[in-house]
């Protein structure tokens, strides 16, 4: 991390006072009419964190992958507020956690919970050595329990796109899921690596979207395709 260097702040204080001395009823020309006292002191400023595109920060996507590869599993319920809070701690990296649902449709514990001795819908972390942590944990606590250092980085990443099948005459829309450890905005470019003029690829900007906030779950962003079906979405 880069910290701004310590700076010295010099302050000047001038205290002007009118000092008139009289001798035998007349002004003493040798005495000044006023004087200035100037004091200087060094005051250190508070250190400030300066981030730029090349400043390494906690790479939560890489950390989530490392936990999964290291044998850590998060058991919980997708509808449970505490489980949602725990997953949101990883930001865009939450999708890479080894998350296992432990409830049925009626919110009762399912057979997976019973088989793994899970007795609560709150987050339950089970690590490679079968040690456990129950309840919401900090990133530092998870790193210590799993004996995995939180990776540092600044390079953007992107979720893997599975092999797609394109039917003749049918357009195919593929969502792009990118993430940046620093939280910077991302831009995309797309190319077609083949000689056939039949296949083309373009980036479609999001014209409109519907955001739904669900208590205890989080936010859902749904593309409404305003540019493709304007008569439907304008209602």
Total-model pTM: 0.60
**Two tokens, residue 120:** 């609560």
CATH 3.40.30.10 intervals, the chain: 57-153
CA-wise closest residue to 70 among 156, 142, 121: 142
Give residue 49's Cα distance to chain centre: 16
Tens-digit pLDDT profile for the chain (235 aa)? 333 333 333 333 333 333 333 333 333 334 343 443 433 444 454 554 444 556 778 899 999 999 999 999 999 999 999 999 999 999 889 999 999 999 999 999 999 999 999 999 999 999 998 999 999 999 999 999 999 999 988 777 777 888 888 887 788 888 787 777 767 777 888 877 776 667 788 887 777 777 888 776 677 778 777 777 777 777 6
* CA neighbor of 153 nearest in space, from 59, 52, 60, 53: 59
Q: What's domain 57-153's architecture?
A: 3-Layer(aba) Sandwich (3.40)
């Amino acid at each position: 991390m880069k910290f701004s260097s310590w700076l010295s702040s010099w302050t000047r204080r001038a205290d002007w006072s009118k000092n008139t001395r009289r001798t035998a009823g007349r002004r003493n020309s040798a005495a000044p009419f006023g004087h200035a006292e100037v004091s200087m002191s060094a005051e250190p400023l508070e250190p400030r964190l300066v981030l730029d595109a090349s400043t390494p920060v906690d790479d939560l996507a890489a950390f989530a992958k490392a936990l999964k590869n290291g044998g850590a599993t998060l058991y919980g319920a997708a509808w449970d507020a505490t489980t949602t809070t725990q997953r949101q701690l990883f930001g865009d990296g939450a999708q890479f956690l080894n998350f296992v649902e432990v409830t049925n449709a009626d919110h009762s514990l399912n057979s997976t919970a019973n088989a793994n001795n899970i007795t609560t819908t709150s987050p339950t972390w089970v690590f490679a050595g079968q040690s456990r942590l129950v309840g919401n944990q900090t990133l530092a606590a998870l790193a210590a329990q799993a004996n995995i250092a939180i990776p540092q980085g600044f390079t953007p990443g992107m979720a893997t796109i599975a092999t797609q099948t394109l039917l003749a005459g049918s357009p195919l829309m593929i969502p792009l899921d990118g993430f940046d450890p620093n939280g910077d905005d991302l831009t995309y470019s797309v190319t077609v690596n083949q000689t056939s003029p039949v296949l083309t690829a373009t980036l479609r900007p999001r014209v409109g979207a519907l955001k739904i906030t669900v208590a205890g779950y989080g936010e859902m962003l749904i593309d409404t395709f305003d540019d493709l079906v304007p008569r439907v979405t304008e209602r």
